[in-house]
Structure 1
Amino acid sequence: MQRKWWQGAVVYQIYPRSFCDANGDGVGDLAGIIGKLDYLETLGVDAIWLSPVYKSPMDDNGYDISDYQDIAAEFGTLAQMETLIAEAGRRGIRIVMDLVVNHTSDEHPWFVDAKASKGSPYRDFYIWRQPGPHGGPPDDQRSYFGGSAWEYDAASGEYYFHLFSRRQPDLDWENPAVHEAVHRMMNWWLDKGIGGFRMDVIDLIGKEVDKQITADGPRLHGLLRQMHEATLAGRDVVTVGETWSATPEGARLYSDPARRELSMVFSFEHVTQTWDVEHGKWRSRPFELVAFKRVVAKWQAALAEAGWNSLFWSNHDLPRAVSKYGDEGRFRVESAKALATVLHGLRGTPYVYQGEEIGLVNPRFDSIDDYRDIETLNLYRERIAAGETHEAMMAGIRANGRDNARTPMPWDASEHGGFGKAAPWIRPNPDYAEVNVAAALADPDSVFHHYRRLIRLRKDEEALVLGDYRPLLDEHPEVFAYLRTLDGRRLAVVGNLSPRDVELALPAELESARVRCLIAHYDAPQSLSGRLALRPYEAFIVELAPLP
């Protein structure tokens, strides 16, 4: 098959507030990103997924948008956004915008007008209901950020619906006028030359509120096909949907090219493997490799013939990969390289979250006052009031809170990690003097240079992009191994994801008297026969000799 550019691409996610502060106000900005494009070109990425930079009151750090066609003053100007698109393009890097259309800010002109009068043409852009039979909210639906999903508007005597903050009212996607307004905005950005959209919580736009159906509503896929035809058809762009509810079968509906919906989705089944069944992410379960491999194999198989996988360890909402799946201490560097190797060898499009390429870990702040995330703070207050202990909540926040990924990018060992001249909006990770970009660039054996080699390898090896996936050693508790095959070529990906030496008998599929090492971060293996000894977090990709 002829591959799309985004199938062979590696995407780098930037959380602008925390990437680089060029103007010294403590907040990252577009000028800071433009100034680091050479760094990203050196890394070798093909696209930047940019978390929201639109005009916003920042109740949820930009995911509450008050103007889709303007830029937040703290990030810069629309002219700078256009410069970023052009300068990135000059380096062969496309800009993927974050599309947040499940909800807007309560300061968006649409909502301001809707709230001013029941007769407003924008009233039906949002979801309004009369009070319930006892004068309270219409029903007991809950916001993901804690509390009721209904907010009372005293002026009109009605409630509006919000699945996130009360300052993020949900759009009513049953209204065709909403479709038209969103499609116009998308085309406006696409005409500026962006490379596509990451679609925030896109599985929620088909909701049926009165039936209390929020994710995967019956109208969802029809809305996405309509969106595709109105905006994406005929354009060479990528779309990835954030879909916490997606199953492998559902992901095939989203990403089968014949259905003309999305390029791929972010699925989170591997993420929730480490969440407590009752308490969710606020209490962790240990990472179990066998269960993780089953999830990976299931998704690789489900999207092998129709559809496409996104591959990621972390993002702006998740903890640092090394902290969750690797070793923060003695084997920080080795585990970061191993995690990168086994992820980038899979079939799908890899996403690198800022700082992942230098092996950043969670900050482990001591006080709740050090955190800034609205979800973290709201849930902390709500659960403490319900009887949860401070210690238990802090343990959950340190393990899975969203601010783990939002500390400032450490560029060097200077004050504030070289992020900017002023104290940043959130405390830097305490280890920035040792773990930073300058140190990584100077060390040829760093995590950064391993990522750079992996990204280059995916560009050179078609089998890593389009090859079949065959899992090996399914029940081994410490080793992740699989084959990628294409047109008779066999690539083996092997990784010890434990801090211990592991020796194992090789399965027949890996037996080869001669191998060509494509990438390794210990000594390159010369052959695979008999028993294999792997050092802590040792991982490699090799080409196996042709079968006789």
Structure 2
Amino acid sequence: MIKKTIQLVTIIWMMGMLHAQAQLNKNYSKQRKWWKEAVVYQLYPRSFKDSDGDGVGDLKGITEKLNYLKSLGVDVVWLNPIYSSPNDDNGYDISDYRNIMKEFGTMKDFDQMLEGMHERGMRLVMDLVVNHSSDEHEWFRQARSSRDSKYRNYYHWWPEEKGTPPYRYSLFDVNHDAWKYDTLTRSYYLHYFSRKQPDLNWSNPDLRKEVYDIMKFWADKGVDGFRMDAFQFCVKDTSFPVFEGLNASNFVQFYAMVPPIHDYLQEMHKEVYAKYNLMSVAEGAGRNMQDAHDLVDTQRKELNMAYAFDAVDVSSSPDYSMLKLKKTFTKWDKEFQNDGWLSIFMGNHDQSRVIDRIGNPSEQYREASAKLISTFLLTMRGTPYIYNGDEIGMTNAGFKDISEFKDIQTINEYKYQQSQGGDLAAFMQKNIKYSRDNSRTPFQWNDGDNAGFSTSQPWIRVGNSYKEINLQNQENNPESCVNYFRQMVKFRKDNKVLVYGDYTVVDENNPNIYAYTRIEGNHKLLVVLNFSDVTSQVTIPKAMRVSTVEINNLPTKPTITNNTIALLPWQAVIYKLN
């Protein structure tokens, strides 16, 4: 009898614990965290501000512009890699994780920049690039010196006596082959990206310890977080089975989230994240929703948030529609409404300019659509990421010839298409619109020489629009894109409902208008966005009563008739609801 009673009590206790955990998960999206409330500004150091006239942006240039960043109201600056690198892939090929690229400056410059950020109440997130290193890193130099090197197992090797290794697709290789033959040790090494980016072997505990020590090095210097580049690809099945059907369109299904990646992330959390107040975000969210949840759900003790690509993939597709974009964002929000947390972004260094993908870069609608995009990013649930230049409405560069591109991915794919007899005209047409070099052109500070970025010719040419689109033209215009952006950042900070409130889409099948409510208790907002070149209407539920217009990106108020709201082209309005 006593035994049965103990069993019953144990069962009741376990049920209580499960219920408590369920309630914790259900309320997780409401829990206050600094990184949920932050607005993140992604800054591309090579193209932001050149302080020494060599045509390359640098750390002193960033420090010179910290007051500008502060004026935007952003909380976190994410820097693309600034570590020592031979620059095969613009710094994503790292030769020394504890040093600064010479073109960018010195460690003293870094310390001064970080101190300046912290003095202004801003935090710094660094790129953590540990799927691969540079082939000029000392680890790889030692690894290829001998098959018996203690660093050999820091990388993935296939000895020639085993024959041809099973095919692996490479994103950047000129032949799409991820195996490169090394004559010194008569072996092939693995590189998912360029040949100068050999993949690190995460199954090696010595390698993992090196990575954690690198993270601690920067955390001890005061860095506030890490954005983990390509981390979903870090772990490989080292038996290297044959992947039937592997190609450019499906490689994520083969490469992402290979076990035991979650064991390693939990180990990383224990060794690093649990010991510092750091923000963590993974580039990529895996193959499916379960992968994404496993990365970021609170009880997993892995990462703060994921950086899912579904929406930007939709925007870069030839059959893009706002309706598809809306359904993508709505699907992800619904999935993470109770637990986990996501990044909200549409632009970054790997995409063309956001306005050319989901806005309208024409003179007639550029400013309105740029403001609409800012409204959208800053009113969704999740941590918003703004890419430098988007706040002033920078557009695609206007490239015309392959000689103008600097990106290894674009250049090598052009060579591949050329070798295969591909349609080079079609390739160029696609990349003029979608190549990531479009977002890497210098920040347009003014309409002077080199857009005020540098006193000499920049490493990549300035975009065609700098005479019309530049910060100097906008600073003193209260109706400009940058001042609207500042207004929206402040509005988000003043209305935490935009961080923690429930999201509900309105008229989901409307092809032009994206409308949704953000509600927390009695605080209720309705966001209405016309993603089109024509006046469009949306009918809101009869029970919904609009009160005041809180935000409007155009001087004309929308008309409302019988709960039907008519918006002008690219109009963005936020209403307070009764």
TM bracket, shorter-chain basis: over 0.9
Find the residue that maps to 2:373 and give its secondary structure. Answer: helix
1:5 aligns with 2:34: yes
Q: Distance in 1 between matches of 2:260 and 2:462?
A: 43
Indicate the residue corresponding to 1:458 in structure 2.
492
Structure 1 residues 122-166: Cα deviation after superposition (integer angstroms, max 9, x where no partner): 110000112376x5x412212111321001111111111000001
Q: Distance in 1 between matches of 2:60 and 2:349?
A: 20
- On the 8 A contact 2:322/2:358 being kept in 1, the answer is no
- On the 8 A contact 2:558/2:565 being kept in 1, the answer is no
1:159 alignment partner, one of 178, 182, 188: 188
1:397 alignment partner, one of 421, 427, 431: 431
Which segment is superposed worse, 404-413 or 265-274?
265-274
1:117 alignment partner, one of 130, 133, 146: 146
Indicate the residue corresponding to 2:93 in structure 1.
64
- On the 8 A contact 2:506/2:540 being kept in 1, the answer is no
Indicate the residue corresponding to 1:351 in structure 2.
385
- On the 8 A contact 2:549/2:573 being kept in 1, the answer is no
Q: Distance in 1 between matches of 2:559 and 2:520?
A: 22
Q: Distance in 1 between matches of 2:289 and 2:102?
A: 40
Find the residue that maps to 2:134 and give its secondary structure. Answer: coil
- On the 8 A contact 2:44/2:79 being kept in 1, the answer is yes
Indicate the residue corresponding to 1:294 in structure 2.
327
Indicate the residue corresponding to 1:443 in structure 2.
477
Indicate the residue corresponding to 2:68 in structure 1.
39
1:507 aligns with 2:541: yes
Structure 1 residues 154-207: Cα deviation after superposition (integer angstroms, max 9, x where no partner): 111111100000100000001000110000010010011111000000101122
Matched pairs, number: 534
Tell me how far 1:341 sits from its aligned partner.
0.8
Indicate the residue corresponding to 2:24 in structure 1.
none
Find the residue that maps to 2:397 and give its secondary structure. Answer: coil
Alpha carbon RMSD of aligned pairs, Å? 1.5
1:209-358 equivalences under 5 Å are: 209=238, 210-211=240-241, 213-243=254-284, 245-275=286-316, 284-329=317-362, 330-358=364-392
Find the residue that maps to 1:98 and give its secondary structure. Answer: strand
- Structure 1: 5+ residue stretches without partners: 276-283
Letter in 2 for 1:144: L
Indicate the residue corresponding to 1:475 in structure 2.
509
Cα distance, 1:18–1:509 mapped onto 2, change above 3 Å: farther
Percent of aligned pairs sharing the same letter:
40
2:170 alignment partner, one of 137, 143, 146: 143
Cα distance, 1:461–1:131 mapped onto 2, change above 3 Å: same
Report the structure number with the largest CA radius of gyration: 2
1:491 aligns with 2:532: no
Letter in 1 for 2:466: Y
Structure 1 residues 430-470: Cα deviation after superposition (integer angstroms, max 9, x where no partner): 11111011112121101111111111111111100100111
Which segment is superposed worse, 251-260 or 36-45?
251-260
1:201 aligns with 2:230: yes
What TM-score, normalized to structure 2?
A: 0.90
Tell me how far 1:533 sits from its aligned partner.
1.4
Q: Distance in 2 between matches of 1:86 and 1:24?
A: 24
Q: Distance in 1 between matches of 2:227 and 2:371?
A: 26
Cα distance, 1:244–1:369 mapped onto 2, change above 3 Å: farther
- Structure 2: 5+ residue stretches without partners: 1-29, 244-253
What TM-score, normalized to structure 1?
A: 0.95
Which segment is superposed worse, 51-60 or 428-437?
428-437
Indicate the residue corresponding to 2:202 in structure 1.
173
- On the 8 A contact 2:43/2:77 being kept in 1, the answer is yes
Letter in 2 for 1:58: N
Letter in 2 for 1:273: V
Structure 1 residues 75-128: Cα deviation after superposition (integer angstroms, max 9, x where no partner): 000111111111000001111000000000000000001111111111100001
Tell me how far 1:318 sits from its aligned partner.
0.3
Tell me how far 1:505 sits from its aligned partner.
3.1
